[in-house]
Amino acid sequence: MRRRRIALSGVTVEIETEHDDLARYLAAQFPEGDAARGTPDVAVRVRWTDGPRPTLTPEAVFPGWPADVLVHRHVWTAPGRLLCLRCDDAPEIAIASAPGTPRRFELRFHFTLGAAGWREAAKRALRWRHVPALRRSRLSTLIYYAVYYPVWWHLEARGAAHPLHAAGVALDGRGLLLAGLPGSGKSTLATALAADGLELLSDNVVLHDGGQIFGCFEPLLLDAATRAGLGPRLPLTPVGRQHQYARDAFHAPHRVGGVPLGAAVVLARGRETRLERLAPRECARLLAAINVAAKEVRRYHVLAALLGLLERDALAHVEARVADLDRLLAGVPCYWLTVREGVPAEATALLRELVGRAKEAAS
């Protein structure tokens, strides 16, 4: 059994697993692990099973977590615990939760090729060369359920922070939020601004408390063309793995603490680089829509809704998401930015000017 302590966004998580590939993935994803001491905020145990599709019953999936009240075809509850035997659009993942100190989660990841009985065995015999790579490809999704989602829920259930599908950078203590759907250019612009001297918060998910934004850092996923454009200006440490779209994973220097928001920008790609002003409430609704459409945060919102069945006091987070987002953007300049394909420098120049204006207005 491997254990690893991870400090992420002010939350200490202790992960326990017997799965060697996951333990190695965690060590690469969070190289500063084991630095946090004391009682963890969140304890997560991850079990990996392999083979034909299992029978989905509480006793089979989570032995030692008895639950007898069925609230959904795959969700069971008992006093002090909730069992979700099949998570949203990640059916291979099951998760059990119990509040307390530390807050406890147990995950079961069941790797299958999607068949039963002899068909599963036949698939494995025919595709045996690909099975190890297929197993590794599941680890990135598992990390979200094992680390990021428990951290976000721990924060959100306490009214401390909410996740946004966005990138964030900071200049002289003021934050710039770059929101947009996958492929809109968040990572490209955030890393380009970091290479130009701004502090990187995150390129994928940013947390906020209604007053400040915080990074929820993951390794950067960069293709060769993006890395070539950055040159030596942004120190990158290879993580040692490749993701889809030929992007390699890298660690980069980033800011850990929060900063007040200076400006918010919603990104899209277009034929020309053009900046338009948005009303803060309109920008808030766009950010909420992006959260629903982007799978990383959408999956979390589904899980958080289920966890709220157990921790009903925490259901206030549903209303707080809207109110705190409006509060975060109140009085902050908000924009819609279309970025001309292949010319990110035009957009980064505009963004640096926006941060400069926000700094002057705040001083």
- In a shared domain, residues 129 and 96: yes
Q: What is the CATH number of the domain that holds 200?
A: 3.90.228
**pLDDT reading at 185 higher than 90:** no
Q: Give the structural domain span for 346.
A: 162-362
- In a shared domain, residues 138 and 168: no
Last residue of a domain, one of 157, 175, 200: 157
Minimum mean pLDDT among 40-54, 169-183, 230-244: which range? 230-244
- Within a 10 A sphere around the Cβ of 280, how many other Cβ atoms? 18
Structural domains of the chain, count: 2
Cis, peptide link before residue 280, omega less than 30° from 0: no
pLDDT at 125: 62
- In a shared domain, residues 133 and 80: yes
- In a shared domain, residues 120 and 138: yes
Would you give the DSSP letter of residue 1? -
Convert 283-317 to b/e letters by CB count within 10 Å (16 or more is b). Answer: bbebbeebbeebebbbbbbebbebbbebbeebeeb
pLDDT in tens, 241-257: 887 777 899 999 999 88
- In a shared domain, residues 99 and 166: no
Which neighbouring-strand residues pair with 77? 69, 82
- In a shared domain, residues 99 and 186: no
pLDDT in tens, 79-110: 999 999 998 878 889 999 999 999 999 999 98
Q: How confident is the model at residue 50 (pLDDT cuts 50, 70, 90)?
A: confident
**pLDDT reading at 298 higher than 70:** yes
- In a shared domain, residues 182 and 146: no
- In a shared domain, residues 152 and 196: no
What does the mean pLDDT of the chain come to? Answer: 89
- In a shared domain, residues 237 and 146: no
Measured CA to CA, the distance from residue 14 to residue 209 in angstroms comes to 24
H/E element, 189? helix 186-195
Measured CA to CA, the distance from residue 239 to residue 251 in angstroms comes to 7
- In a shared domain, residues 195 and 258: yes
Convert 83-115 to b/e letters by CB count within 10 Å (16 or more is b). Answer: bbbbbbebebbbbbbbbeebbbbbbbbbebbee
Last residue of a domain, one of 157, 181, 196: 157
Looking up tokens 């015999």, which residue turns up? Answer: 125
pLDDT at 225: 82
Token couple for 163: 């996740």
CA angle 315, 149, 179 (to 5 degrees): 90
- Within a 10 A sphere around the Cβ of 228, how many other Cβ atoms? 9
Could you tell me the pTM of the whole model?
0.92
- In a shared domain, residues 194 and 276: yes
- In a shared domain, residues 142 and 239: no
Looking up tokens 């299958």, which residue turns up? Answer: 112
**pLDDT reading at 283 higher than 90:** yes
Q: How confident is the model at residue 150 (pLDDT cuts 50, 70, 90)?
A: very high
